[in-house]
Structure formats: C-alpha cells, structure tokens
Amino acid sequence: MKEAVVVRDLVVRYDSVTALNGATATVCCGEALGIVGPNGSGKSTFLKAIAGLLQPQSGTIGVLGKAPRALKPGTIAYVPQIEAVDWTFPATVWDVVAMGRFPRLGLFGRFGAHDKAAVWRALDLVKMRDLARRHISALSGGQQQRAFMARAIAQEPQVLLLDEPTTGVDASTEEALRVVVRELVATGMPVIMTTHDLDRAGDWFDRLMVLDRRVLAIGTPDEVLESGTYAGIREHAHVHGHLRTD
C-alpha cells in the first residue's frame, strides 16, 4: 500500500515540557490508525505536527512525500475537539461546512454549484441535512462534532486527522462517525485519530498505536490490546497520580 504519512523520530517541546520524544510511525492510504495514550502523552501534538500546526524540534514528517506546509491547500483535513471554537460565532451549520471548500478555492475562486453539491453531500454523510440552516449555537455536542466532520469531508482532503471525535458525543453520533470514517478508508483515505475508547478499537481502526511521548506499541488492535501495553501505562499513570480519568 502507498505510504501516506511518514513520521520519523519526532521531537516536540513546549518550553520545557517534552510532548513528543522520538515518535516514529507510518500510515498508508486506505488505513485508519488509532492513537491511544494517557493525557499528556502527546496524542494531540502528534496530530498537530502532521497538520503542520507546530514546528518540531527535530525529526521529519512526510505527508504524501512532502512537508506538511509544502502541501497544496486542502490536502489535510483536521477535525479538532469541539471546545476549540466559539460556538456563538454568527454562522449556520451550512456556513461552517462550506468553509471546508475555502482552502481549494483560494483567493479568487468562485463558490459555485460544484462546491454547494460537495457541502450537501458532506451534510448527508453525517446525517445533518435537516439542520443545515440551524445556527451553530443551537447544536448539541454530537451535532457540533458532526458539523466539524462534514466540514472536513466537504474539503475533499487526501489525509484526515481526527482529535478525539468520540469524546462527549452520543452513541448515535459515534456510530455515524465510525461509519463515515470506514467509508472514507474504503475509498483509500488515510485516517489518523486519537481516542480514549478502547472497547471498539477493532471496529474503528486497522491499526492501533500506544503513545506516551514515544510509540510504545503499534499493530492490529487485537495485538496491541493483548500485549497489555496500554493497560500497563494506565496502571503506571494511576500509581503516579498524573492521569485524569475522563
């Protein structure tokens, strides 16, 4: 399979805190990689580095053979946690999903019928068509997460990064998101997603990675869960008291 994202010896520090200390992983096209690890293990940092949102101290990141910042606009779609934005912003669901089209349009492109069709398609995929005209402040957490997912789909990206999309959402949203992710993966999309939920890892991911500043284990979900690596660091974190259970 074609390699989509190649991360080698990634080191990221925030001031004196080391968030990632030599993380290495490869994700292929048509593959979903789940990332688990305790809070502060660098899961979100790993995604942000791939998205080109922060400058690593050392190591390399290749996305479709290029550095993240050198990619054409619209290549990477990043779905943040829903707390990341102000939901009182004057915008409807449609407006937010339409933003997914903006990167490819550039400064002078016209938002045309093709773009509108892509927005409706994305809304349909996450089952939000009926809420298109609703103001975003009137959405539940699950609906907000679906709107973010629809924006990413409308972008028609080549790489999809998801930061804990299942945290704090209802069961039907979680299932809707899972179905959409598997459909995208089936079309060849590489997906990297952080999660706290181990129970359904086998349904979501082709491979699972345990991260705690470095990659402690990577393999099929079954292999990783049987190895007990994640259970091990959870125990360790509990003993040392720096794991928030959430």
Partner 1 sequence: MQHILDPFHYAFMQRAFVTALLVGVLCSAMGTYVILRRLSFIGDGIAHASFAGIVIAYLRGADYYVGAGIVAILTALGIGFVHRRGRVALDTAIGVLFTGAFALGIFLMSRQRSYSIDLQSFLFGDILSVNGRDVLTIVGLGLLVAVVTAVMFRALLYTSFDPVVAQASGINAPLVEYVLLVLLALTIIISLQAVGIVLVAALLVTPAAAAYQLTQRFARMMAISIFFGAICSVGGLYASYYLRSSSGATIVLLATIVFFLAIGAKQVGGAIARRA
Binding site for partner 1 (CB under 8 A): 48, 51-53, 71-80, 84-86, 89-92, 95-96, 99-100, 102-103, 105, 107-108, 111, 135, 137, 148, 151, 155, 157, 161
What stretches of the chain show up as alpha helix (H) in DSSP? 43-50, 93-99, 102-105, 113-125, 141-154, 171-186, 201-204, 221-227, 229-240
Nearer to partner 1, 3 or 95 (CB): 95
- For residue 166, give every residue at least 6 positions away whose Cβ sits within 8 Å of its Cβ, in sequence order, or none: 174, 177, 195, 196, 197
Taking the complex as a whole, the smallest distance from the CB of residue 103 to partner 1 amounts, in Å, to 4
CB of 105 to partner 1, least distance (A): 7
With the CA atoms of 41, 44, 46 and 47 taken in that order, what torsion angle do they form, in degrees rounded to the nearest 10?
160
Of residues 146 and 151, the one with the C-beta less far from partner 1: 151
Judged by beta carbon, residue 78 or residue 205, the one nearer partner 1 is 78
Please provide residue 230's backbone torsions phi and psi, each rounded to the nearest 5 degrees. -70, -45
Question: In this structure, are residues 177 and 166 in contact, taking their beta carbons and an 8 Å threshold?
Answer: yes
Closest distance of CB 52 from partner 1, Å: 7
* Smallest gap from residue 101 Cβ to partner 1 (A): 9
Which C-beta is closer to partner 1: that of 108 or that of 113? Answer: 108
> Based on CB atoms, which residue is closest to partner 1, 28 or 91?
91
| Smallest distance, partner 1 to C-beta of residue 95, A | 6
Question: How many CB atoms within 10 Å of residue 82?
Answer: 21
Which two tokens mark 201? 């890892």
Alpha helices in 14-108 (DSSP H): 43-50, 93-99, 102-105
